[in-house]
């Protein structure tokens, strides 16, 4: 047997605290939603909002307000300046709405303004420009990518754990019809994706796709908390963060599948034939706890290394992954599994495979048979 950080026979009653976990998750999500409302939505980077993004490295750290004042002659609309990278770095990210100016002109104007206004040696390390229409298209594509990933997760889980590919197909068809209908009414992409996710959850519940329901809720939970934390920290959303969110979806699903696999095995195990559904789930969580923690710990070490040593380009991606790994591990234990209990009590539990008893031996006594012939 391999190394076990936590003994296979551990018996912690995780499901006992599921309502407390529900409340904690809901509170964190509501705080994140409140932050998004206060800030008028996510803080989109240049990839999604369109505009110009300039990364500048100075020889010494200075107050971002001084950079803002130095750039006033350039008259960049929507100008914002923030420290970029590690605390010890002297790198700053300058963002503004895209003016009607050529990229080379922006570079020269910003360089001259910083030279005249600060008189501190600096280097323009990166300059990116994206048009508003391109940014809107990229934003729509990112939302579609996240939604399609969640839909495919629901179909896969339904087929693998419940052997109900037809129901999963019906869910996909119903969802496609609802998206077509919303499109006819001219609903924007954000509203359409949100409505589609709600329809997915309702269809999972109505069609009794309990495993899929738990996995989808856990994935939405992880992404919502990650987005909320980024909003609270004032971090930008760009294509790199979308890549991190899609990675988080896959990681959370993998962790959930480990627990679901053990639940399915326990449902067929003769040793659990008289056990309640709650005990079957709780035993599965305990039996996979060592593997879950070791997997999460290994992944966390990797992304922490990226966060500390990866530089500014990977800093935000690594931060999103750190949040996602922690929340994804939590949701596999305290969200996906408890939802299977609370909404899956009518789940058809396969009968345990009990070995058949050997056939009874019939003994025939040896007696002489007398035949009377008429």
In this structure, is residue 355 part of a structural domain? no
The verdict on 76 and 113 lying in the same domain is yes
Residue 26 contacts residue 33 (beta carbons within 8 Å): no
In this structure, is residue 146 part of a structural domain? no
The verdict on 35 and 66 lying in the same domain is no
In this structure, is residue 305 part of a structural domain? yes
The confidence score (pLDDT) of residue 135 equals 66
* Torsion angles phi and psi, residue 76, rounded to 5: -85, 120
In this structure, is residue 119 part of a structural domain? yes
The verdict on 36 and 76 lying in the same domain is no
The verdict on 283 and 157 lying in the same domain is yes
Range of the structural domain that residue 160 is part of: 14-40+152-164+209-343
The verdict on 35 and 105 lying in the same domain is no
Per-residue model confidence as pLDDT tens digits over 270-323? 877 778 888 888 988 888 888 888 888 999 999 999 888 876 668 888 999 999
How many structural domains does the chain have? 2
Which residue from 269, 262, 153, 149 is spatially nearest to 209, judged by alpha carbons?
153
The verdict on 246 and 288 lying in the same domain is yes
* Torsion angles phi and psi, residue 52, rounded to 5: -125, 140
Per-residue model confidence as pLDDT tens digits over 120-174? 888 888 887 777 666 677 777 777 777 777 778 778 887 777 777 788 788 778 7
The verdict on 29 and 83 lying in the same domain is no
DSSP letter assigned to residue 303: H
In this structure, is residue 278 part of a structural domain? yes
DSSP letter assigned to residue 224: H
Residue 362 contacts residue 49 (beta carbons within 8 Å): no
Give the neighbor-by-neighbor strand order of the sheet with 51-58. Answer: 80-84, 91-96, 51-58, 122-130
The confidence score (pLDDT) of residue 87 equals 64
In this structure, is residue 225 part of a structural domain? yes
For the chain, list the strands marked E by DSSP. 43-44, 51-58, 80-84, 91-96, 122-130, 236-237
The verdict on 33 and 104 lying in the same domain is no
Cβ partners under 8 Å of residue 237, min gap 6: 42, 43, 44, 45, 48, 227, 230
CATH of the domain at 116: 3.30.70.3400
CA distance 373 to 165: 69
In this structure, is residue 296 part of a structural domain? yes
CATH of the domain at 328: 1.20.1640.10
The verdict on 98 and 224 lying in the same domain is no
The verdict on 77 and 157 lying in the same domain is no
Averaged confidence pLDDT in the chain = 79
Q: Which residue has the higher pLDDT, 362 or 33?
A: 33
pLDDT at position 181 over 70: yes
Which residue from 288, 281, 284 is spatially nearest to 344, judged by alpha carbons?
281
Q: How much is the pTM?
A: 0.75
DSSP letter assigned to residue 73: G
Helix, strand, coil percentages (3-state) for the chain, rounded to 5, are 65, 10, 25
Per-residue b/e over 56-73, b at no fewer than 16 CB within 10 Å? bbbeeebeeeebeebbee
How far is the first Cα of the chain from the last one, in angstroms, to the nearest whole number? 77
The verdict on 74 and 55 lying in the same domain is yes
The verdict on 215 and 338 lying in the same domain is yes
Overall average pLDDT of the 230-248 stretch: 86
Per-residue model confidence as pLDDT tens digits over 64-88? 888 888 888 887 777 878 877 666 6
The confidence score (pLDDT) of residue 331 equals 92
In this structure, is residue 110 part of a structural domain? yes
């Amino acid at each position: 047997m391999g190394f076990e950080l936590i003994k296979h026979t551990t018996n912690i009653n995780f499901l006992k605290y599921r309502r407390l976990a529900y409340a904690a998750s809901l509170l964190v999500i509501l705080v994140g939603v409140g932050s998004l409302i206060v800030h008028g939505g996510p803080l989109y980077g240049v990839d999604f909002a369109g505009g110009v993004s300039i990364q500048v490295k100075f020889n010494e750290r200075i107050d971002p307000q001084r950079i803002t004042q130095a750039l006033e002659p350039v008259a960049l609309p929507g100008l914002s300046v923030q420290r970029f990278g590690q605390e010890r770095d002297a790198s700053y990210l300058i963002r503004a709405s895209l003016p009607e100016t050529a990229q080379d002109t922006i570079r020269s104007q910003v360089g001259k303004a910083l030279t005249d206004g600060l008189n501190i040696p600096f280097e323009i390390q990166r300059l990116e420009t994206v048009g508003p229409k391109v940014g809107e298209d990229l934003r729509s594509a990112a939302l579609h990518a996240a939604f399609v990933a969640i839909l495919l997760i629901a179909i896969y889980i339904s087929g693998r754990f419940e052997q109900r590919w037809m129901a999963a197909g019906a869910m996909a068809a119903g969802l496609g019809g609802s998206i077509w209908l919303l499109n006819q009414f001219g609903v924007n992409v954000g509203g359409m994706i949100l409505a589609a996710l709600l329809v997915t959850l309702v269809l999972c519940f109505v069609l009794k796709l309990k495993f899929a329901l738990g996995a989808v809720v856990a994935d939405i939970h992880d992404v919502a908390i990650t987005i909320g934390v980024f909003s609270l920290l004032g971090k930008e959303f760009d294509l790199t963060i979308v890549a991190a969110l899609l990675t988080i979806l896959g990681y959370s699903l993998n962790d959930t599948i480990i627990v679901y696999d053990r639940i399915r095995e326990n449902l067929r195990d003769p040793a659990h034939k008289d056990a309640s559904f709650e005990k079957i789930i709780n035993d599965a969580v305990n039996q996979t706890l060592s593997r879950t923690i070791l997997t999460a710990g290994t992944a966390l070490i990797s992304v922490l290394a990226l966060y500390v040593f990866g530089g500014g380009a990977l800093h935000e991606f690594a931060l999103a992954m750190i949040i996602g790994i922690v929340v994804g591990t939590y949701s596999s234990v305290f969200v996906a599994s408890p939802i299977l209990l609370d909404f899956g009590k009518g789940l058809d539990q396969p009968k345990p495979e009990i070995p058949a008893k050997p056939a009874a031996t019939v003994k025939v006594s040896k007696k002489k048979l007398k035949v009377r012939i008429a």
